[in-house]
Structure 1
């Protein structure tokens, strides 16, 4: 499978089960997600529908196989933060290091710019030393994608009987010169290349 053969499309509620299958690995086997219980398909679908009211939710596919997904969601949730958004990405754990994450984030950033979003943030589990549940590969990926570390919370997440740090990383993707209105995802047009 070559990167150019991987397509990106918008997620829909019918993808929920397959996306949840990817996410369940991160909940049960890693400290990448600080969630400790795998949500039901109905809960996961509800989360997707809530996000899709205002933000993009995209999947990477090879033929009919979903390789990973990414989405934007509110940063903090106050009106003054409308032109900022938080990013989330999860890849099939058997399909890493294939350029899928870069492809998803590139599309996500393009859509964010159409929505007039200027700042992207990512909340990432972080360790001083790698263990079997967490390493700093996600932070390294985000750094490679142009994000910079802007904050570190010490031992704020507890999972698998251990304490984990959390870091915030930021990428500025737009100019802050003019005041622009946040455009909800449902109100924009976007075509995949």
Structure 2
């Protein structure tokens, strides 16, 4: 398996990897799985300044990792929000770690200094992956995610992406 940049042609496959997280419970808090067209738009938007990667297994997408702005305010421009999704049955295979490590390298090379991830509680598998990759707790937002008539807490975790001077880095390229 190889990690590579996603292309618009990967949109349907990325949608298929992601859809079970939308329909399978409180994970991403989307009402409906995105269409392939919407997924293509998201890929293009992420690739402009951030990244969208896929785990390619002989032409079949088995997982995705992507990042985007943590928030739109200029002061947060050196931080990014990240996510990873794997097709069913790929947990605890190293696939999530492989995708995330490639994503972190990409972001560090572009000048980003902090990655943040929101994890719906109690998603122990996701929390475990993030902890294993050096994420630390940054805070918990209480009852902010609504899914299936229930309100859920979301833990935010963060990790540094690389060394850099304190203060303002050179900026994403």
Q: Which runs of 5+ in 2 are unaligned?
A: none
User: RMSD value over aligned CA atoms?
Assistant: 1.3
Give 1:146's aligned residue: 134
Q: Give the one of 14, 23, 38 matched to 2:18.
A: 23
Tell me, what secondary structure is at the counterpart of 2:154? strand
Q: What's the offset of the Cα at 1:84? A: 0.7
Give runs of aligned pairs for residues 70-89 of structure 1, distance below 5 A: 70-89=65-84
Q: Give the one of 107, 115, 118 matched to 2:110.
A: 115
Give runs of aligned pairs for residues 101-180 of structure 1, distance below 5 A: 101-127=96-122, 135-174=123-162, 175-177=164-166, 179-180=168-169
1:181 lines up with 2:158 in the alignment? no
TM-score by length of 1: 0.84
Runs of 4+ in 1 over 3 A off after TM superposition: none
Q: What's the offset of the Cα at 1:178? A: 5.3
TM-score by length of 2: 0.94
Number of equivalent positions: 172
Q: What's the offset of the Cα at 1:89? A: 0.8
Deviation readout 1:113-150 (Å, 9 max, x if unpaired): 111111110011013xxxxxxx3211111011100111
The answer on whether the counterparts of 1:118 and 1:176 sit within 8 Å (CA) in structure 2 is no
- Distance in 1 (CA, whole Å) between partners of 2:132 and 2:27 is 18
1:69 lines up with 2:64 in the alignment? yes
Q: Which one has the largest radius of gyration?
A: 1
